[in-house]
A and B are shown apart, each in its own frame.
Chain A
Amino acid sequence: MDDLSSSLLCQENETCLEEGGEELEYQFVGSQHDCGVSEDEHVGILIEREIVLGFKKDETMVIGDWVKRARMEAINWVLKSEKSWAIRLLSIACLSLAAKMEECIVPGLSEFKLDDYSFEGKVIQKMELLVLSTLEWKMGIITPFDFLSYFIRKICKESPPSPIFSKTMQLIFTTMKEVNLMDHKPSVIAAAATLVAMDQQLTIDAVELKMSSIPQHRLLESKDVFEYYNLIQRLYEENTKSDTHTPIEMTESSRVTSSAAMAKRRRLAFSDDEGSSHGKGPG
C-alpha cells in the first residue's frame, strides 16, 4: 500500500525548494509510469472525489462540515502558535502525521524536539490518535500538488519550460498564506497556478483554450480557473510590493518560517525570458 502514498506525495521536499527544483523536474518526468495506471483515469477520479468531498461544482465551495471544522481549527491553532503546551503538542502531532503520510523516509518522533518542550513518545501518540479520530482517519486529502505534474504535461504540450514545476509550487505556497485553500477546488488551484507560471497575460478565452487540453476539462470550470488565475497574480503583485518594505505580518514565533518563505519568494522572478531559459537554476 506504500505505493499509493508515495504516488500522492505532494512532491515537496527540501531540496526542490532550495535548489530551484532541478531535481524535481527530473522526478516529475520520470514518475509518469510509476504505477502503470492510466493517469487520465486517476486524475478523473481525483476530480470526482473533490466533488464528493464537498467542493461544490459552482463557485461557492462548501466543504463538508467536519473537514472544515477540524482542519481549520488545527491550522489556526498551529499558526497562532500560542505558548500553551497543548498547542505545541498538537503542532508536533500534526507535523508527525503529515510526515507519516507524505515522506518516503519517516523521521522518528525524537526529531521533532522543541527547544522549550520535550514530549514523550507516548504523549505525542495520544495526540496523534486524537487528531486521527477527529479526522475519521481520512488522511488522504486531495491537494493541488496531486494534479501538478499531470496538468503541466497536458497544458504544456511541448516540453515544459524547465523550472515550471517549482515555480507553480511556489505560486501555490504564496497564495496559501492569503487565501483559505479549502475554499477552492485543489484542481482549480493547480490549473490556475500552472497557467500563471506559464503565461501572465491570458484572457478568459485563452484560459479556456489552454484548459481544453486537459481531458477532464469538463469537470473543471474555466471561469473558476480564470478567477483564481487573477487572484494569484494580484496576490503575487501585492507580495512583491510589500516584500521590499516590511515583511507581511510576522508574529514572533513564525519568524523563521516566514523569512524562509520570503527567501523562496524572492527567487520567483518573473522576467519575460524566464519561462524559456532552461536550467537557470537557483537565482
Chain B
Amino acid sequence: MLTLREKYYDFDQISSKVFKCRRDDQFFTMKIVSILNEENQANNGVPYWIIREISILKELDHINIVRLIDVMTDGPDLFLVFEYLDNEFQADFLKNPKMFMYPQMKKEFLYQILNTVAYLHARKILLRDLRPENILVNVRTQVLKIALFGAARTFEAPLEAYSSSVGCLSYRSPEVLFQFGCEKYSTPNDVWAVGCIFGEMLLHRPLFSGPSDVELLDEIFTLLGTPTEETWPGVTSICGTCALMGPPQQPKDLAKEFPMLNPDGLDLLSKMLCLCPNYRISAEDAVKHPYFKGV
C-alpha cells in the first residue's frame, strides 16, 4: 500500500485543513480529518459517524455531488481526497451576485439541487444540513456541486448533537424545530431546506433568519400561518412551543410575497414549504413539477 506522500504530491495549502495536491496529471482537494478529538477521548477507535459517512460517500457517483475519490490514513489523521473543483467554482453560491442576474439560471440550479436530493433520498440518504454555504456553482458552465462532507462541522459534531448544535438554524424545518421525532430525521426535512434556499434565491436574503428556535418558528408561522390540526394532524400534541407564541396567525398570500414568481413556481414553493412534513412534496415529485418544464 502506498503511503500518502508516495501517492500524492505538490501539496498546496488552501486553508488550515485543506490542501490542493496532485497525482499524475490530475489535481485533487485533500481534507484532513482528525480521528482523535474531544468526543473521542475514551479512544473508541475510528468514530462510527466517520466510518458511516465515508462509506456512504464512497458509493455515491453523481455529477452534482463533490466526489470522494480516496481515503488515506497517516497516524491519527484521515486524508479525504476529493475531486478538485477549479477556481470557477464558488462556494456559498447565494453570495455570488451573478446568481441573481439570470432567473433561468436560478431555476437551473434549483433543479440540480432537487435532482441531487432525490438521488440521495432514493438511496435512503439524508442531507440533514443542506445550506447554501455547502453548495458550489460554476456560473459559466452552470454546474452545481453539493459538498456533502465539505463542512468541517459534519465531522466535528456527532450526529446526535444536530438539534442542539450551534450554527445556522435558518434551513431547519418546523418538525425539527419542534424537536418532534428527534430520533428520526426524515426526507421532508431536506425538502424544507431546499424550499428555504428557493425562497432565498428569489428574495436575495434568507427566507427565515430567526436567531433562536422560537423566533424562527414565529417567522415561519408569520409567513405560512400557525399550523392547526387540520393543516398538520397531531400538531397540537407535539407543539408545546405553539402555546408560547401568542395568537395563531393566518398564512400570508405567497403571490404577494413573491411577486416575481409565476403560478407554477408559487405552487412548487408552497408545496416545499408545507408545514406538515407528511404533506410536503417529495424531492422526486418536485423534480417533475411543471415549474421545471423546459429545464
Chain A residues packing against B (C-beta within 8 Å): 1-5, 7-8, 34-38, 41-42, 45, 49, 93, 96-97, 100-101, 106, 108-110, 120-122, 124-125, 128-129, 132-133, 136-140
In the complex, are the beta carbons of B58 and A3 less than 8 A apart? no
Question: Which of chain B's residues 274-290 have a Cβ closer than 8 Å to chain A?
Answer: 282, 284
In the complex, are the beta carbons of A100 and B51 less than 8 A apart? yes
Cβ distance B41 to chain A, nearest Cβ, rounded Å = 10
> What are 7 sample pairs from A and B whose C-beta atoms fall under 8 A apart?
A3-B184, A3-B186, A101-B55, A108-B44, A121-B42, A132-B46, A136-B58
> Considering residues A8, A41, A137, which has the most beta carbons from chain B within 10 angstroms of its beta carbon?
A137
Cβ distance A3 to chain B, nearest Cβ, rounded Å = 5
In the complex, are the beta carbons of B46 and A138 less than 8 A apart? no
Q: A3-B186, A4-B123, A37-B124 are in contact. List 11 more A-B contacts (CB 8 A).
A: A1-B49, A1-B53, A1-B125, A1-B128, A7-B124, A96-B45, A109-B45, A125-B45, A137-B71, A138-B58, A139-B51
Q: A137 vs B122: C-alpha distance in the bound complex, in angstroms?
A: 21
| A2-B159, A136-B58, A138-B55 known; A34+B45 contact, CB < 8 A | no
| Residue B174 interfacial (CB < 8 Å) | no
In the complex, are the beta carbons of A36 and B188 less than 8 A apart? yes
A residues within 8 A CB of B185?
2-3
The contact of B55 among A3, A120, A128, A140, by CB within 8 Å, is: A140
In the complex, are the beta carbons of B52 and A1 less than 8 A apart? yes
In the complex, are the beta carbons of B45 and A121 less than 8 A apart? yes
| A1-B125, A96-B45 known; A139+B186 contact, CB < 8 A | no
Question: Which of chain B's residues 122-145 have a Cβ closer than 8 Å to chain A?
Answer: 122-126, 128
Interface size class of B (residues with CB under 8 A): 35 or more
Q: A36 vs B71: C-alpha distance in the bound complex, in angstroms?
A: 31
| A3-B186, A100-B51, A101-B48 known; A38+B284 contact, CB < 8 A | yes
Which of chain B's residues has its CB closest to A111's CB? Answer: B44
Digitize B45-64: 1 where CB-to-A-CB distance is under 8 Å, 0 elsewhere. 11011011111101100000
Cβ distance B43 to chain A, nearest Cβ, rounded Å = 3
In the complex, are the beta carbons of A38 and B52 less than 8 A apart? no
The contact of B187 among A2, A37, A41, A140, by CB within 8 Å, is: A37
Chain B residues packing against A (C-beta within 8 Å): 1, 35, 42-46, 48-49, 51-56, 58-59, 71-73, 121-126, 128, 159, 184-188, 282, 284
> Considering residues B35, B56, B282, which has the most beta carbons from chain A within 10 angstroms of its beta carbon?
B56
A residues within 8 A CB of B72?
133
Which of chain B's residues has its CB closest to A97's CB? Answer: B51
B residues within 8 A CB of A137?
51, 54-55, 58, 71
A residues within 8 A CB of B52?
1-2, 4-5, 100-101, 139
In the complex, are the beta carbons of B59 and A140 less than 8 A apart? yes
Q: A7 vs B186: C-alpha distance in the bound complex, in angstroms?
A: 11
A residues within 8 A CB of B1?
133
Which of chain A's residues has its CB closest to B42's CB? Answer: A108
Q: A100 vs B128: C-alpha distance in the bound complex, in angstroms?
A: 20
Q: A252 vs B12: C-alpha distance in the bound complex, in angstroms?
A: 55
B residues within 8 A CB of A3?
124-126, 184-186
Which of chain A's residues has its CB closest to B149's CB? Answer: A1
In the complex, are the beta carbons of B186 and A36 less than 8 A apart? yes
> Considering residues A5, A7, A110, which has the most beta carbons from chain B within 10 angstroms of its beta carbon?
A5
Cβ distance A203 to chain B, nearest Cβ, rounded Å = 36
